[in-house]
Amino acid sequence: MLTFPAGDPNYGVHVFRGDEPQGQLFACLPQSEWSGTGLQANGAFGPTGLPTWNNCQVRVASKPSDQVFLAFTLPDTSNGTTTTTTTTTTLADTTPPTINSFTPAEGALVHGTAVAVTGAATDAGSGVKSMAFTIDNGSVIGQVVDMTAPYGFTLNSKLLPDGHHTINVTATDNSDNTTTVQTHNFTVDNTAPTTPRFTKALAPFTTATTAALTFSSTDATSGVASYKVQFERVNFNATVFSAWATAPNGGALNRTSYTMAGLAAGYDYCFRVISTDKAGNVSAPSSLTCTARLIDDKALVHSAGWVQRVAAGYYSNTYSQAGSANRTLTLANFRGDRLAIMALECPTCGSIRVYVGATLIRAISLAATKRTDALIVLPPFGQRAGTIKILTLSTKPVVIDGIGASRT
Ligand SMILES: [Ca+2]
Ligand SMILES: [Ca+2]
């Protein structure tokens, strides 16, 4: 039996949590025994009736698994001194951790060999010991238990078939309390969209400064997220095409059409489209569609005998007219496989011959019942290099508006 001076806070049982003094104290149990003991909220006992040590339990507001340090400071009434007795105890942790986050998140779309499976958990008591991850039923990829934060592993999603999957996550603390299983759904998509195709090929030659493209692609699992339009171009006299480049503002289209503006005269433009699905898989590029913008007649070298005019309704508002034979328009250093002539067709119009170097490509009669500024597209002839020459054959009028020079 221990006795304390009544109301003296220097005596009693003082509790520390860790090494941090907890000034407000505990109680001895059973609480029914407090009656008559004079146990005070500040921890002082007195004057008589404190239970024996064996009966004294300390109840404190504390974190689970905290180490509690008890200091009992008691008077010895026999000789007037005080004695301090200490003991430590560890409070039990019965609370599992809290899972704060994990990936793949609910509804996520994943692809590839390096999908980040991650988990984060906290435990206020004994601390997090491990997190466990199970994909589906664990039959394809066995459960992964990670003992070291940050918790998780790298998932090769290509081991799983495309489609719906689940991930189960648990966290366990150092007192072996385990959370309930948290389950999220995710979708694997490792299949690229179908190779896009142009739904309408471009005309091989154009007078316009724009090229309007339409295309399509499909993706079975996640759907097409975006399209990228790329282009390359080559001038009529250049040796090679430019490198492929993303068309202006054409890098991430959420529609199936695109119009390229600013086509330059004399250039052959080729386009291709690449689609990306919502999981990030990228298709193969489409086959090409190409168009060459005409070169105006004004850019050609005129022999004697041509009259150059400015007139609305013609390409670039110009034309060149001859009324005698053996007049030539030439364009040096052509490289390509196809030509077009934009010329006036009319009942009285004459004829021309078109050459590349010394090779006759085509003889063309411009006689027609209807008067038209016609774009006459010649058949491909294989890649050739040389000077393009248009030659008049008679005194009948020949009106040339422009020529097309294509590499494709
Ligand atoms: Ca896909
Ligand atoms: Ca013209």
pLDDT tens column, 210-247 = 999 999 999 999 999 999 999 999 999 999 999 999 99
Span from the CA of 315 to the centroid of ligand 2 (angstroms): 4
Span from the CA of 382 to the centroid of ligand 2 (angstroms): 26
Token pair 């146990």 is found at 39
Span from the CA of 248 to the centroid of ligand 2 (angstroms): 28
Per-residue confidence band for 63, with pLDDT thresholds at 50, 70 and 90? low
Strand residues in 217-288 grouped as ranges (E): 224-235, 245-246, 257-260, 267-277
Per-residue confidence band for 42, with pLDDT thresholds at 50, 70 and 90? very low
pLDDT at 74 over 70: no
Span from the CA of 229 to the centroid of ligand 2 (angstroms): 30
* pLDDT number for residue 244: 98
* pLDDT number for residue 25: 38
Q: What is the mean pLDDT of residues 5-18?
A: 42
- Least confident piece of the model among 30-44, 134-148, 363-377: 30-44
Per-residue confidence band for 24, with pLDDT thresholds at 50, 70 and 90? very low
Q: Burial, 229: exposed, middle or buried (Cβ in 10 Å; 0-12, 13-18, 19+)?
A: buried
Predicted TM-score of the model (pTM): 0.72
Coil, helix or strand for 392? Answer: strand
Q: What is the mean pLDDT of residues 195-220?
A: 97
Which is more confidently placed, 205 or 69? 205
Span from the CA of 113 to the centroid of ligand 1 (angstroms): 15
Counting ligands in written order, which one lies closest to the CA of residue 224?
1
Strand order in the sheet with 289-293: 205-206, 289-293, 267-277, 224-235, 245-246
Span from the CA of 384 to the centroid of ligand 2 (angstroms): 24
Q: What is the mean pLDDT of residues 8-13?
A: 44
DSSP label at 270?
E
Reported as half-sphere exposure (CB side, CA atoms, 13 A), residue 208 has a value of 10
Span from the CA of 298 to the centroid of ligand 2 (angstroms): 6
Span from the CA of 314 to the centroid of ligand 2 (angstroms): 5
